């Protein structure tokens, strides 16, 4: 019985990590990652997400090493697919972890197509696409229709300029100049509002507003993956910018408390947009000798102290 089971191939689970913040993983994806023993990951997946792989299994009692393994997905899509299929045939489920939403990335689609030609079963666990979540975090309501495109590859500019609703574009700063001029050339007004968001959904998120005419100047300094939102919806941003407009947004705040106490304060700081830096600088310890304590209490009772000052919850 156990031999039969061992020879039955595992499945390949293609998991989307979402836009960045590990809390934006789906519950399904989080459970799959925790139960995984072997995952192949892309370099752009957030470290907080890869840290969740195999948490159900803990560490090896002898070596202290995690039991689950996370390896980089190396090579062309066909090679990655071959590796995944070979591992699944060994009898274990294999996780393929990709950033964003799996079937919106051409190389991931190529991998899945190659896997689908084999007998090994696979599943797609969609991730929150940055095209919808990043505008939400930047205070822009896309509404019931929009068009998205990745302008880092080939683009049908005339179709894109003719498309309805707001445009959501994936780009880097190197693509801003061409994007703006091509859209204007194909009929959009140079005054069309546009917003560029970097580090979307994380506490490093930053949004710069511009128009197509000023897009390149406004975004040329931004590093990394950008989400560019184009259309009227950008001009309503000031009303709805709930994430970046919080009172302490982006502030790093030192939380010098004991380890046990920091959680509560940090949670409250996070609510207001700050980035708490917990530093356990204070320790609460029993007095080294009973005499110390007795002297203090005696002083209180004798009336030797005129003041007792409570400086914090530790006092």
Count the alpha carbons within 13 Å of 18 in the hemisphere toward its beta carbon.
21
Residues 21-60 that bind its own copies (CB under 8 A): 21-28, 30-31
The answer to whether 266 and 242 have CB atoms below 8 angstroms apart is no
Q: In sequence order, which residues have a C-beta less than 8 Å from that of residue 129 and are 6 or more positions away?
A: 19, 100, 101, 104
3-state secondary structure of 267: helix
Closest CA to 180 of 255, 138, 230, 145: 230
Q: How many residues bind its own copies (CB under 8 A)?
A: 64
Closer by beta carbon to its own copies, 61 or else 247:
247
Closer by beta carbon to its own copies, 7 or else 220:
7
Q: Measure the CA–CA gap between 277 and 111, rounded to whole angstroms.
A: 40
Q: Measure the CA–CA gap between 144 and 164, rounded to whole angstroms.
A: 11
Site string for its own copies, 219-248 (x = CB under 8 A): -----------------x--xx-xx--x--
Residues 119-138 that bind its own copies (CB under 8 A): 121-124, 126-129, 132-133, 135-137
**85 lies in the binding site for its own copies (CB under 8 A):** no
Stretch that binds its own copies, among 84-92, 95-103, 223-231, 255-263 (CB under 8 A): 95-103
Please state the φ and ψ torsions of residue 187, each to the nearest 5 degrees: 120, -10
Other beta carbons less than 10 A from residue 174's beta carbon: 11
Closer by beta carbon to its own copies, 104 or else 266:
104
Residues 250-309 that bind its own copies (CB under 8 A): 271
Shortest distance, position 135 Cβ to its own copies, whole Å: 7
Q: Which of 9, 15, 17, 18 binds its own copies (CB under 8 A)?
A: 18
Q: Measure the CA–CA gap between 17 and 221, rounded to whole angstroms.
A: 27
Closest CA to 278 of 264, 290, 288, 289: 264
Q: Distances in Å between the alpha carbon of 225 and those of 134, 140, 181, 205, 312?
A: 12, 18, 20, 11, 43
Residues 165-184 that bind its own copies (CB under 8 A): 165, 170
Residues 137-166 that bind its own copies (CB under 8 A): 137, 140-150, 153, 155-156, 159-160, 162-165
The answer to whether 139 and 241 have CB atoms below 8 angstroms apart is yes
Shortest distance, position 232 Cβ to its own copies, whole Å: 13
Residues that bind its own copies (CB under 8 A): 11, 18, 21-28, 30-31, 101-106, 109, 112-113, 116-117, 121-124, 126-129, 132-133, 135-137, 140-150, 153, 155-156, 159-160, 162-165, 170, 236, 239-240, 242-243, 246, 271
């Amino acid at each position: 019985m156990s031999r039969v089971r061992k020879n039955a191939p595992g499945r390949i689970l293609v998991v989307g990590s979402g836009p960045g913040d590990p809390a934006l993983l789906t519950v399904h994806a989080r459970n799959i990652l925790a139960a995984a023993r072997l995952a192949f990951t892309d370099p752009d997946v957030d470290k907080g997400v890869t840290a969740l792989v195999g948490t159900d299994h803990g560490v090896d009692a002898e070596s202290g090493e995690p039991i689950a393994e996370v390896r980089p997905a190396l090579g062309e899509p066909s090679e990655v697919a071959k590796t995944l299929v070979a591992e699944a045939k060994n009898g274990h489920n294999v996780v393929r972890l990709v950033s964003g939403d799996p079937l919106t990335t051409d190389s991931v689609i190529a991998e899945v197509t190659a896997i689908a030609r084999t007998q090994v079963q696979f599943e797609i666990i969609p991730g929150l696409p940055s095209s919808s979540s990043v505008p939400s975090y930047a205070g822009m309501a896309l509404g019931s229709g929009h068009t998205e495109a990745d302008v880092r590859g080939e683009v049908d500019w005339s179709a894109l300029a003719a498309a309805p609703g707001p445009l959501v574009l994936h780009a880097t700063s190197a693509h801003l100049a061409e994007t703006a001029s091509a859209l204007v050339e194909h009929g959009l007004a140079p005054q069309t509002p546009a917003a560029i968001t970097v580090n979307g959904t994380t506490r490093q998120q930053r949004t710069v507003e511009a128009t197509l005419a000023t897009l390149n100047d406004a975004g040329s300094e931004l590093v990394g993956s950008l989400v560019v939102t184009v259309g009227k919806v950008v001009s309503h941003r000031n009303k709805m910018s709930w994430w970046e407009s919080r009172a302490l947004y982006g502030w790093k705040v030192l939380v010098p408390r004991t380890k046990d106490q920091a959680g509560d304060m940090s949670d409250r700081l996070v609510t207001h947009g700050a980035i708490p830096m917990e530093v356990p600088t204070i320790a609460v310890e029993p007095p080294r000798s009973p005499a110390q304590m007795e002297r203090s209490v005696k002083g209180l009772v004798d009336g030797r102290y005129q003041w007792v000052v409570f400086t914090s919850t530790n006092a």
